[in-house]
Structure 1
Amino acid sequence: MKFGRPLARFDIKAAPGLKLKAQLTILLVAGCITEICVLLLSILAGLTVGDMSPTAFGLFGGATVLLAHRWVLVDVREAFDKALAQHHVVLEGSPPHIMQIARTFPGHWLAMLYIQLHPELIDEG
């Protein structure tokens, strides 16, 4: 199994910034999903009923952002769990810290996002 770069060197002062970056990435993905859904709703509503209320769009957009945010969080957790189950990550120490993650793992990006959300999993050196 081919592993990527070790995660052992980690500056604990960078943890809040790393976590904030991961949370902003998730919000960005959720926002993009919402924009696509609102665009499709707008097109379909325009074809069938004409004009729609801005309040309806606002409520739909708000609900979609919340659902998409939760959906991305669940996908991130599932990708990390799958990486653990398939031994695509190397854990060492007590409590366990992630030392490496295989770059060949199909859910690599999502698993790395989970690790960024939980910087305590990264070995402090």
Structure 2
Amino acid sequence: MAQYEVDIKIVFTTRNDQNDKSFLPTRHLMALYQEGTNGNFNECLQDWFTKGRSDPQGFLSRHACAKTDDAVDLQIEEMHQWCKANEIQYTSTYFVNGHRLPPAYRLKDLQYFLLT
């Protein structure tokens, strides 16, 4: 069976505003990603999409983060501005090998395209 290398990017539309209900979880996920422990990040991301959205405070308490700093806030602002410029209006939007995954598809659908 052939193996494919796939680059997947997740884009969040979160504003750099502490009053935005998705700001703290997004900031936390981005800081965890920057810590460089991808296995831990993948678990955190899965937890966010399965349980965390309904219990953001529980999510934050389950996943310790060493730091969140101004650099993360700047990245959130840059990502938000990029989303506005590219008319991305929902979180999360996925990019596969640089191409936006159409809304009709989910990441798990990729297996059908890659295995054919």
- TM-score bucket of the superposed structures, by smaller chain: under 0.3
Higher Cα Rg: structure 1 or 2? Answer: 1
With normalisation by structure 2, the TM-score equals: 0.27
Higher helix share: 1
With normalisation by structure 1, the TM-score equals: 0.25
